[in-house]
């Protein structure tokens, strides 16, 4: 099996820890760009990517049978071409659970414990023991996208004695959630009752502008919104307006409609906004966790077993 990895991501761990039973059955090539990989694409059975692929690669990879993305998101891949050629697509769903759930809790604590304000006072050498703080205890967190990451967030939130509402497509109960809702009515209930709202939706045609200006108007004026999903799941212009006019107390945003976030965006300069550069899923253990999925799927492809994280291309996840 010929495997061609095309990514600037560091795959040293993946390359150096290929299990012994696979080493003689595969040929693994790793390139930083599609241009560098050009001479190997014609024989590629498998392409590994970090979540983006130039559609022109498909013309060169005539023997391609399977694409493994090392990201969870698939919205930057040529999905229509995959579907037309019956190419199997698998993703790295599950490798973000620990770090993204920890990051979510850290952002909420950063907000209620006023970490940014305390840091500024330290830089100014101001001793202000009259700063007042909020708490997570007893607050309601609404998780829009109650999948694996959402469930991990819910478990950690319960450690702070928070009330947890989750939204998923089925409305089926899930552990660690006090309430699970679904549909438009469920979304409205979640938004209106939550002190913290966390967006963890995949980016698909069905989730673009999932949270609208009208939805934002339903939220509590003291609510804090966290978007770790994709920038296009929320109306960014409406969000900025809500933050500017005080309808929404604050937000932590790791994803944006345009990335990198333009320097002209007012979000950079708003005291009630925490901006991070799409790094919620980052971890020193990321490649190790993703590699386990890759090795499993290589065996499954070679031996006819069940692959992990097969994507339903028509649904987009």
Point out the residues that are catalytic. Answer: 230, 259, 278
Q: Which residues contact 27 (CB under 8 A, 6 or more apart)?
A: 1, 2, 3
| Token pair belonging to 73 | 């998101």
Q: Give helix 148-158 / helix 97-112 axis angle, nearest 10°.
A: 40
In which element (H, E) is residue 291 found?
helix 286-303
Pairing mode, if any, of strands 250-253 and 273-275? parallel
| Nearest Cα residue to 149 out of 107, 191, 179, 104 | 104
Within a 10 A sphere around the Cβ of 257, how many other Cβ atoms?
16
Q: What torsion, rounded to 10 degrees, do the Cα atoms 315, 78, 200, 70 define? A: 120
């Amino acid at each position: 099996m010929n495997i061609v990895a095309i990514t600037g991501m560091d795959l040293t761990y993946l390359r150096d820890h290929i299990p012994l039973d696979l080493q003689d059955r595969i040929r693994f090539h790793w390139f930083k760009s599609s241009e560098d990989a050009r001479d190997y694409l014609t024989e590629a059975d498998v392409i590994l990517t970090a979540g983006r692929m130039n559609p022109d690669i498909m013309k060169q990879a005539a023997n391609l049978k399977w694409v493994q993305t090392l990201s969870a998101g698939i919205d930057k891949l040529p999905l229509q071409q995959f579907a037309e050629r019956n190419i199997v697509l698998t993703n790295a769903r599950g490798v973000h659970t620990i770090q993204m759930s920890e990051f979510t809790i850290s952002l909420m604590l950063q907000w209620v414990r006023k970490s940014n304000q305390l840091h500024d006072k330290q830089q100014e050498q101001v001793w202000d023991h009259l700063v007042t703080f909020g708490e997570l205890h007893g607050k309601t967190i609404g998780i829009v996208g109650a999948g694996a990451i959402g469930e991990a967030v819910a478990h950690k939130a319960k450690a702070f004695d928070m009330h947890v509402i989750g939204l998923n497509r089925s409305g089926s109960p899930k552990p660690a959630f006090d309430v699970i809702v679904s549909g438009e009515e469920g979304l409205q209930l979640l938004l209106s009752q939550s002190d913290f709202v966390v967006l963890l939706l995949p980016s698909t045609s069905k989730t673009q502008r999932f949270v609208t200006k009208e939805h934002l108007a339903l939220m509590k004026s003291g609510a804090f919104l966290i978007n770790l999903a994709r920038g296009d799941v929320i109306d960014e212009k409406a969000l900025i307006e809500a933050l500017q006019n005080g309808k929404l107390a604050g937000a932590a945003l790791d994803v944006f409609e345009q990335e990198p976030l333009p320097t002209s965006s007012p979000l950079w300069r708003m005291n009630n906004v925490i901006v991070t550069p799409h790094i919620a899923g980052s971890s020193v253990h990321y490649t190790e966790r993703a590699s386990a999925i890759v090795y499993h799927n290589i065996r499954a492809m070679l031996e006819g077993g069940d692959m992990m994280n097969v994507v339903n291309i028509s649904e987009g996840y």
